[in-house]
Chains A and B, each alone.
Chain A
Amino acid sequence: MREADQPKLTLTNFDVLVAATRIPLSAEAKAAESREIGKRIYGLLGLRYEQSGEVYERLGLTNLARTLLFAVMTTALALAICYPIAYKVALATPAHRVVWLMLGLIIPYAIAELMRIYAWTTIIDNRGVLNSLLIWTGILTEPIQFARMPGTVFVVIAYTYVLFMVFPMLNVMSTLDRNQIEAARDLGASPWRVHRRVVIPHAKPGIAVGCIATFMLAAGAFSVPRIISRGLQAEWFSQTIYNKFFESETSNVGAAYSFAYTLVCFLIVGLFMWIMQTRLKDFARVQ
């Protein structure tokens, strides 16, 4: 077939995403890695396999899977941090004091996203506040390298996008009649039961919208992993896409990566909305 006759559309750019790469490993390293729980899960998912003694890994897909998992964990962390605050502001504070709490929520948001992230570097550096404090009190002798821990990125993302989680929940919760909580308490419900049976069912659309917004922001996060990890951690998928586009001349592959990523994210959000029985209209209700 002559070149001009060939079809112009091709899926080869997507092949790069699913392609397997041989991982050169010594026998000891292989044995050590095969015990790691993360590598085992990759094996179960078919993202890592052995062929005639050599280990292969689908690096594009493992990167994708890891980033999505990280985004989910970040969302869960943000939900855990924000739920009590949303409850506190919406339902457990006298109206005249709500103003101050709202100020506390809004002011950190007003400075640029990057500033919020830079502010954290002062804390988590090897000679930063946390390490200095821990060494000064004698708990540690060597600094913890927070920049190498994925958890640090989770915390900073949660911090950076706190408002997107708090406000949807807060707005829905504040429509709940406080008398319902009082009534439940009078009838002898424990605080835990009040939340499970009264507050959470009412706030469900807000919780769903907050989770979706945070998940999408975490999945698309580029600044936080880049600045916090300073290249000391595995790349997030957004960084991979950036590198495909701008650091190497493979923009077609980059486009395939970002299209696949968007599709997967939409699927996850759609599934989540189906499970939580959220409709898109809830996005307008909770603002």
Chain B
Amino acid sequence: MTSQRLLNLYTWAFLAFMFAPLLLMIVASVNDTSPPSVTEWHGVTGKWYAFAWMPDEALRADAVLRTIDRDRFFGCFGNSLKVASGVVPLALLLGLAGAVMLTRWQSRANGLLWWVLLSPMLAPGIVLGLSALVFWGRIGVDAGLFTIIAAQLTFVAGYPMLILMARLQRQPVELEEAAMDLGASPLRIFLRITLPFLAPALVSAGVIAFLASMENYNTTMFAKGGACTFATEIGAMARNPNGHPPVINAVGTVIILLTFAAALGHTLLRRRERA
């Protein structure tokens, strides 16, 4: 059937569109030239990876690597992890509270509540960062990691909320009602029935919140003050007139490989469970 074949062809083209930039990035990460290129081949090198552990003398000897402040680079990466470790648990807590409230609490204010809880996801990211900066500045908190966490939390909390809500809507209310008839307290019902039911959704929501926090640039950029995160640090390299150093490609390659391994492992495990 021709339309079927056309769709298959398109799917392959789409996958090429998705993966070609990543493949080129990986190839450029072993090319001995900066800015990263795949068209001008200067020989294979591992130095963009070795950047992470090479001794200081070797670092200073290289014309490109010498321009990057390694301690700052990894310091910023550490900052990103710190921010994520604040954002993820708080986002899960807020998301859980919002999800329970919107699915279980029926009132006339529900429509308004929907708008309030979802509007951060509907606002341009830059505005969220700016408002966090201005708000906390007025209270007297200097811009830094805390304002980054506050700014990211406003929209990241929405993802767990939507994911948890989708699962809550599938939970039979009868279970909770039965437990209530048997005299269980609301807290006990929540801890023994609702929370275990939500566990898988909580895990995936946590992963998504972590990824969203780590990669966020548009909001963080506005709320960061003098601090830096991994995303803003590699973003700052865009201002380099000679283009960004291939170290970024090396870091990206490592992340891709880790993700690929994790996704593949997850898929194979689930397949074995089903079989």
Contacts and interface: CB of A to CB of B under 8 A. Distances in A.
A104 interface: yes
A118 B234 contact: yes
A114 interface: yes
Given A108-B19, A132-B39, A122 B25 contact: yes
A280 interface: yes
Q: Is the interface of A mostly helix, strand, loop or mixed?
A: helix
Interface string B101-137: 0100000000100110011011111110011001000
Nearest to B25: A119
Interface in A242-268: 242, 245, 251, 254-255, 258-259, 261-262, 265-266
Contacts of A101: 11
Interface string A85-97: 1011000100000
Contacts of B230: 112
A254 B130 contact: yes
Contact of B124 (A114, A132, A220, A281): A220
Interface string B154-191: 00000000110110010000000000000000000000
B122 A269 contact: yes
Interface residues of A, number: 68
A227 B236 CA distance: 10
B24 A107 contact: no
Given A88-B7, A112-B215, A112-B231, A118 B244 contact: yes
A212 interface: yes
A75 interface: no
B67 interface: no
Nearest to B168: A284
Nearest to A273: B122
A24 interface: no
B263 A220 contact: no
Given A115-B234, A129-B24, A84 B10 contact: yes
Contact of A287 (B123, B166, B214): B166
Given A159-B21, A281-B114, A107 B125 contact: no
Contacts of A108: 18-19, 21-22
B36 A122 contact: yes
Interface stretch (B42-50, B55-63, B192-200, B249-257): B249-257
B85 interface: no
B234 A159 contact: no
A111 to B, nearest CB: 5
Contact of B125 (A127, A220, A269): A220
Interface in A216-250: 216-217, 219-223, 226-227, 230, 238, 241-242, 245
Contacts of B126: 220, 222, 238, 241-242, 258
Contact of A245 (B114, B124, B222, B235): B222
A265 B124 contact: yes
Contacts of A87: 7
A112 B134 CA distance: 27
B134 A255 contact: yes
A251 B137 CA distance: 13
A15 interface: no
A176 interface: no
Contacts of B24: 119, 122-123, 129
B259 A111 contact: yes
B234 A114 contact: yes
B216 interface: yes
Contacts of A230: 238
B263 A106 contact: yes
A280 B114 contact: yes
Contacts of A114: 215, 217, 231, 234-235
Interface of A: 81, 84-85, 87-88, 92, 99, 101, 103-116, 118-123, 125, 127-129, 132, 159, 162, 191, 212-213, 216-217, 219-223, 226-227, 230, 238, 241-242, 245, 251, 254-255, 258-259, 261-262, 265-266, 269, 280-281, 283-285, 287
16 contacts: A85-B11, A88-B11, A105-B18, A108-B22, A112-B230, A115-B255, A118-B36, A122-B21, A122-B38, A129-B38, A191-B3, A222-B221, A245-B130, A254-B130, A265-B123, A284-B166
| Closest A-B pairs by Cβ, 8 of them | A220-B124, A119-B21, A110-B259, A112-B215, A115-B252, A220-B125, A119-B25, A132-B39
Interface of B: 3-4, 7, 10-11, 14-15, 17-22, 24-25, 28, 35-40, 102, 111, 114-115, 118-119, 121-127, 130-131, 134, 162-163, 165-166, 169, 211, 214-218, 221-222, 230-231, 234-235, 238, 243-244, 248-249, 251-252, 255-256, 259-260, 263-264, 267, 271
